[in-house]
Amino acid sequence: MYGIFNYDIASPRMGVKVGEYILDLELVSLLGYFGDLNIDPAVFAQPVLNDFIALGKPVWQAVNQHIKALLSDEQAALADIHDQVFIHQSRATMHLPVRIGDYTDFYAGIHHAENVGRMFRPDAEPLLPNYRHLPVAYHGRASSIVVSETPVRRPQGQFMQNGQVTFGPSQALDFELELGLIIGKSNPLGKPIPIDEAEDYIFGITLFNDWSARDIQRWEYQPLGPFLGKNFSSSMSAWVVPLDELEPFRVEGPVQEPAPLPYLQSSKPGHFDIQLEAILQTKQGTEHRICQTNAKHLYWSFAQLIAHHTVGGCNLKIGDVLATGTISGTAPDSFGSLLELSWNGTQPLALADGSRRTFLEDGDSITLRGLAVDDEFGLRVELGDVSGKVLSALQRFS
Give the residue-averaged pLDDT of 180-199.
98
pLDDT at 34 over 80: yes
Residue 75 confidence class, pLDDT cut points 50, 70, 90: low
26/112 same-domain check: no
Last residue of a domain, one of 53, 68, 95: 95
Partners of 275 in the β-ladder: 294, 371
Could you give the CA distance from residue 76 to residue 82 in angstroms, rounded to a whole number?
11
- Whether residue 374 is contained in a domain is answered as yes
Last residue of a domain, one of 67, 95, 123: 95
Give the residue-averaged pLDDT of 18-28.
95
Q: Report which DSSP code applies to 142.
A: G
Q: Are the beta carbons of 211 and 388 closer than 8 angstroms?
A: yes
Residue 84 confidence class, pLDDT cut points 50, 70, 90: confident
pLDDT at 395 over 90: no
- Whether residue 397 is contained in a domain is answered as no
Q: Are the beta carbons of 178 and 324 closer than 8 angstroms?
A: yes
Give the residue-averaged pLDDT of 226-251.
97
91/119 same-domain check: no
pLDDT of residue 78: 72
347/278 same-domain check: yes
pLDDT of residue 397: 62
pLDDT of residue 396: 72
Give the residue-averaged pLDDT of 214-241.
96
Q: Can you count the helices (H) and strands (E) in the chain?
A: 9, 26
- Whether residue 398 is contained in a domain is answered as no
247/367 same-domain check: yes
pLDDT at 155 over 60: yes
Give the residue-averaged pLDDT of 224-251.
97
pLDDT of residue 83: 82
Could you give the CA distance from residue 257 to residue 260 in angstroms, rounded to a whole number?
7
Question: How would DSSP label each residue in 153-222?
Answer: EPPEEEEEETTEEEEEE-S-EE--EEEEEEE-S---TT-PPPGGGGGGGEEEEEEEE--EEHHHHHHH-T
pLDDT tens digits along 303-321: 999 999 999 999 999 999 9
- Whether residue 157 is contained in a domain is answered as yes
Residue 385 sits in which domain range?
103-391
Q: Strands 164-169 and 173-174, how do they pair?
A: unpaired
Cis previous bond, 332, omega within 30? no
Last residue of a domain, one of 70, 95, 120: 95
254/297 same-domain check: yes
227/371 same-domain check: yes
176/264 same-domain check: yes
314/213 same-domain check: yes
210/130 same-domain check: yes
- Whether residue 88 is contained in a domain is answered as yes
42/132 same-domain check: no
pLDDT of residue 76: 63
Q: How far is CA 395 from CA 150, 155, 223, 301, 398, in A?
A: 20, 11, 31, 43, 9
Q: Strands 271-272 and 321-323, how do they pair?
A: unpaired
CA nearest neighbour of 1 among 357, 385, 384: 384
pLDDT at 206 over 90: yes
Q: What b/e sequence results for 208-223 when a residue is b if at least 16 CB atoms lie within 10 Å of its CB, and e otherwise? A: bbbbbbbbbbbbbeee
**Angle of CA points 83, 47, 94, to nearest 5°:** 60
248/303 same-domain check: yes
Q: Are the beta carbons of 329 and 115 closer than 8 angstroms?
A: no
Could you give the CA distance from residue 339 to residue 357 in angstroms, rounded to a whole number?
10
Give the residue-averaged pLDDT of 283-291.
94
Identified catalytic residue from 111, 112, 297, 309: 112
Give the residue-averaged pLDDT of 98-123.
97
51/129 same-domain check: no
pLDDT of residue 380: 95
- Whether residue 326 is contained in a domain is answered as yes
Q: What is the CATH number of the domain that holds 45?
A: 2.30.30.230
Q: What is the CATH number of the domain that holds 210?
A: 3.90.850.10
Could you give the CA distance from residue 332 to residue 354 in angstroms, rounded to a whole number?
19
pLDDT at 74 over 70: no
Q: Are the beta carbons of 177 and 209 closer than 8 angstroms?
A: yes
Please name the residues in contact with 106: beta carbons below 8 A apart, sequence gap of 6 or more: 135, 136, 137, 300, 305, 322, 323, 324, 325
Q: How many domains does the chain have?
A: 2
Is 112 among the catalytic positions? yes
Residue 119 confidence class, pLDDT cut points 50, 70, 90: very high
- Whether residue 250 is contained in a domain is answered as yes
Cis previous bond, 41, omega within 30? no
pLDDT of residue 15: 98
pLDDT of residue 148: 98
- Whether residue 314 is contained in a domain is answered as yes
Average pLDDT score, the chain:
95
